[in-house]
Each structure stands twice: as structure tokens, then as C-alpha cells.
Structure 1
């Protein structure tokens, strides 16, 4: 199976335009406009059905910008970036007008024509799945074992394990994926740990969609299972395909914790968001929690629904938390999915001395757009 790359396609226009009546020395010059159709790729050049575009403009000697989408009102922006969602269903051609203004009000402007796809049918297309109807190691066309910690040191949050790519720690059998945490001395790159586990990065980069993971969680104290995403532009742990690294660090890449379970309360799960404000770089976080009965003995569906307006997380049909989305959050670009169990650390807590092993069992993983 091929690796999916669901990405934003940027249409870049570089030009110099006409101006209003003013001293020519005061007129902005070299208007550059980038129009990104969200979810656009070679198979879906007009977008993923959200109808959303992000427009960024820059010009010499400009102090503010304005945009008009179709026949709508002019929208002002000091930063030169704005987002707009078209509401008409189907693929339609729209006019986007852009102005760059100087301090005195002199301007240059240009118009662009773009085709954008909009659909009210939410999350109808399956873009990635693993039903685990095979035996042995996880499919390496769909999953990457991340075993190298940041800077070849230890993992974050005081975690106690080494991650491995061995079948002892992750394997598929009887229709499900098992990620197993084991108490054993294991050395990697000169460091010896008392526990091993596995961290699987999904080989799909996607912007917006619905993620579903049907899973049973470990029951033993000290275990910290998680279903989460990172921005695909992260450089610190960004080898999600094994050979790719991004350009920004955490938290500017954005993190979505669809599900985490602490090591000391196995009757509830947490959903949390960590990000850096794209304008101020200030660290932000928020989230919620919900009770989950029989989380270890019964399957539950842990899900996320993500678009340009909000990110919602669920356990089965129960809403856990909703985060409003916006252009100053790093949740309008590609993310990738991660499944893992950590031992100890911030949310694992103390590992009992009699711990031997425990399993995070996943029935299926599905991503829709």
C-alpha cells in the first residue's frame, strides 16, 4: 500500500500591480500573494470539501492589507493573512481580491481566480486505515517505529522506557494490534532502561478529518497509553516516516492528545491540547476528561473531528472537549497520528515493583476526510 500525503497545495502569485493616485515613492511594491486551498493535493486539486482557503500577502512599504472573497465585504488585516470558507456546495470558481496599503493610504491591488470544492458531507472519504487483519509485525507501509529519542537521549516527561521495533513490543494477531510494555533491562545507544514498549507513527500526513481508534487500554498502574498527533512540521520528533524532519519545534508544531490515560486512574481518560501561539509563540494548553467504564476489558472508540472551526474529541459518542480553531493556532496544517504506551513519567506515575507487562490493544485505526 502506498503512503498517503494529504497536504495543502499552495498557489503562489508574484506580481507588481496598479495603485491609487499618490506619490509613486509611497506606493507599495512587489505584492506577493499565496493562496492555499486546504486539503488540496494532486488527487484533490480543489481541496478536501471544507471550502476553506488561507490567503497570505506581503508587499514592500505596506502597513496593512485587505481582502475580498467573491462579492463579500472587504476584510482588513494588519498581518497580511486571513482565512475564508466558501459556502456553496460543489466545485466553484471564485474571485479573490487583495490590496496592500501604505501608511498614507496609497495601495496596489490584484485579483485572482480559484476553483474551490465544498461539501456538506462531513468526513465521508476514508484516506487511511488499518484493520489489522494480518499476523506479525505492524505493516511498515502504514507504520513507522520511532525508537530514537530526541537528541539520542531519553524521552520527554520523565518516561522510563526504551521504545523498540521488536515484535515482542508490537505485533498483530487475531485481528488486533498489540502494543506491549514489558519490564526488562534493555540497552539502546549506551543507555539502559528497566522497561520497553513501542511507539508507532502513522505514515499519513493529513489536514482536517475524523480519526477513529477502537481500543482496549492497559489496566496496570504506571502505564500511560496515548492516541495523539503532532504537527508534521515538528523537528524534534518529526521522523514520522523515518527519514523526514520538519522545521519547527514543540509546541509551535501543535499537539492533539485524542486520548491519554494516567497510570493512577484507569476509570477515566484525558483529552488535551498543547500548542504555541503562531503570533506570540506563547505556550498554551487546555483540555478535559471523561469517565470510561471497563476501559481495559471492553473496546471503546476514541475519536477526533477536526476542521478549520474547531477540534472535538470523543469517547464513543460522548464529547470530551472542544477547542475552537483559529489562524493563530497550529491546527490548520498537516498532522500525523501516534500510538504508544509510556511507563512512569508525568502521567504514568509510579510503576509497581511487581509490574511485569501490559498491553494496549487496537482493533482498528481509520482516518476520514
Structure 2
């Protein structure tokens, strides 16, 4: 039987309304219970309230009309929760209070355990409140991508090829990936290439990070290819996928796709290079059925400059309750995590350019080569 710690209190918060009636705002009552594995349940109540708002860690804000909400903290620590009750649709009259809680049974630590050997200190990095940098590559060296930090995935995952009717082979050659002048270049090119008896007419590179993470923030600053037919992606997979040729093998499981979960932080449309996609793929834990959710936005929607001529920041913020995908800190798409979604296991990062296929589309005969250029990759927890 689950044992709960229960803390109940009532805060009387009375304000004078600036209105003709001079009525007073109703008292806001708040109760909460702490459950297992970082869970907190909050119940807020105020007479005549039309909306409740709850603010948790990492600026996660939720609203509902019931006043009841469950939230799971990924890390141990002390937290301040904001609770509002609104009494009109314009949210002009409200009551507000904060709750101070200590979470001692979450899965993660209150501060990230940092292995300094994994930190590239060659340049200053962005500081985010509540996060510590735990792994990064600033690409301030020359030659092949660091073999300490990156794994080339080049063995076809099935049938001599890759998913989604893609038309490339991946290689570990410098022709397809190298570091110079402070950036990583992933090069897709037209050439005949045969691997395991399978002949393709395009080559590229697909890198796996040798670091994996459950909850946190990932930042990738990148400039995208401009050629039609290219399909660049910055994305994650669960370490338990058991995919052929990946860095993790079956060490953490062999559940396959989509049971492992996939988070597409950024994909660029092959036929419209001003379109960016953020997408989630998973298998329902209850039924086993495939599910997905995502959004497509243009550079105009996001109010950003051209993505093929300029570098932009592609980010994921991942908590036990919510995953946000961002471009230059502007929301691309977000997904609330329910009990049937498998986003509760460590993921690793992938960087690649596919050719053709579902999203790459038609490759023009004039295509020769193009690249995705990456300034840095940073993991925070």
C-alpha cells in the first residue's frame, strides 16, 4: 500500500477589488499530498473561482477548472509551487499563494552528478537556472568527431538499408563527417557506395552520442542544408531500442521501435526548407499501439531568420510531466507525458542527414552534396 505524507493548510488571502462593488476575493484553500517517486497531488479550492493555475519547476505552468493536479518531480530537492485561483475570465481578480515542498523520493538527485572529463571547457556555455552542464562538445578541434563522445552508426538496420525508404548509406569516413573551424560538418553527397552487397547512390553520416540522459535539457546549435531532397534531423531514441549497429546495442533492452520512444527535436522538410517539424513517436504502454504527435511550423511562424544561411538553437526540455521542443527558445511543440507514453527511460542523441524518403522527398538530378553544420551540442540536468 502506498504511504502518503499529507500536509493541509488554509491561507486567507483577501484583497480589495478595484471595482464598483468593492467585493472581497474568496479565500484560497490548498491541500497537497506527497506520494512515491516524486509525485505530488495538489487540491486547490476557492468559492466562485473559474480557473486555477499551477506553476512548478522549470517554468512548467498548467491550468484547469477543477483545482486538482498531479505532478511528478524528476529530481530530489526543495521546490516552490505557485497556485492561483481566478474569479473572472479576464483573470483580473485572483488569489495567489506559494507552497514550499521537499521531494526526497524522486528518481534523480537534487544536483546532477558531473563527470568533469565529459565537459568541454573550450568556450563559455549558457547557464540555465536549475540546471548543470553534464556533457557537451563545442567542436573546437580538427579532424574526425571525437570517438570519446560520438559513435558512427553505419550498419544498415534492416534489408541492406534504412527506414522510411531513405536512399543513402551512412559511413564513418571523413568524406561524410568531420570537424573544422569550430563546427561539426555532416556531409550528404551523391556517389555510388556499396555496403554488405547493398548499393546506394548517396552517402551521409549518422552519429550517436555516447552519453544518454533521463530528463533535462539538450541544446544543439546548427545550420541546415538548403538542397531539396535532404532530410536533416536532430533527435533522440531510447537506449533500450536494441537497434542494429547503434552504440548501445542491447545493453539496456531490446524493445524495438516505437516502444523505446522517439523525440524529433528538429526535422527539416526536404521539399520546403523553411518548414521545421517537432514530433513524438511512441507505443501505448497499455495497448501496444503506435502513437505520434507533432507540429510543423515555418520560419515565419517561429519569427526566425533563414535556417540554411544562419545558425539557430534547437532545444528539448524534458521533465517527468512534459516535453517541450524549442527553436531559439520559441516553442515548436510540446507533449504532456501520460502513464501510457514511454518517455520515462534514458535517451541518446542522434545527428544525421537522410536522403529522400518520407520527409526528404524527391532528390533533384542536380544534387551533388550539402551539409548540416553544428556549432555545439550541450546536455544539462
Please give the TM-score of this superposition, normalised by the length of structure 2.
0.68
2:209 aligned with 1:202, yes or no? yes
1:252 match: 259
2:158 match: 151
2:240 match: 233
Q: How many residues align?
A: 280
User: Could you tell me whether the CA contact under 8 Å between 2:231 and 2:355 is conserved in 1?
Assistant: yes
Q: Partners of 1:68 and 1:208 in 2: how far apart?
A: 26
Cα drift, residue 115 of structure 1: 9.7
Q: Partners of 2:369 and 2:200 in 1: how far apart?
A: 15
2:185 match: 178
Q: Partners of 2:107 and 2:171 in 1: how far apart?
A: 46
2:78 match: 89
2:170 match: 163
Cα drift, residue 92 of structure 1: 6.2
Q: Partners of 1:115 and 1:284 in 2: how far apart?
A: 26
- Going from structure 1 to structure 2, the CA distance change for 1:116 and 1:349 (only over 3 Å counts) comes to closer
Q: Partners of 2:292 and 2:355 in 1: how far apart?
A: 23
1:301 match: 313
Query: RCO greater where, 1 or 2, for CA within 8 Å and sep 6 or more?
Result: 1
2:370 match: 358
Q: Partners of 2:34 and 2:347 in 1: how far apart?
A: 32
Cα drift, residue 333 of structure 1: 1.0
Unaligned residue ranges in structure 1 (runs of 5+):
1-65, 77-81, 97-113
1:332 match: 344
Cα drift, residue 151 of structure 1: 3.4
Tell me which moved more, 348-357 or 150-159: 150-159
Q: Deviations over 1:16-57 (max 9, x none)?
A: xxxxxxxxxxxxxxxxxxxxxxxxxxxxxxxxxxxxxxxxxx
Tell me which moved more, 268-277 or 235-244: 235-244
- Going from structure 1 to structure 2, the CA distance change for 1:328 and 1:349 (only over 3 Å counts) comes to same
Cα drift, residue 284 of structure 1: 0.6
User: Could you tell me whether the CA contact under 8 Å between 1:222 and 1:351 is conserved in 2?
Assistant: yes
Unaligned residue ranges in structure 2 (runs of 5+):
8-32, 37-69, 80-100, 112-127, 300-304
Q: Deviations over 1:260-286 (max 9, x none)?
A: 001101012000010001121111101
What is the CA RMSD across the aligned residues, in angstroms?
Answer: 2.7
Q: Deviations over 1:177-204 (max 9, x none)?
A: 0000010000101011000000000011
Correspondence for 2:272 among 242, 265, 272: 265
Q: Deviations over 1:140-195 (max 9, x none)?
A: 11000000121352100000000000000000000000000010000101011000
Q: Partners of 2:234 and 2:376 in 1: how far apart?
A: 12
Partner of 1:89: helix, strand, or coil? strand
Q: Deviations over 1:105-143 (max 9, x none)?
A: xxxxxxxxx997547x85521111000000000001100
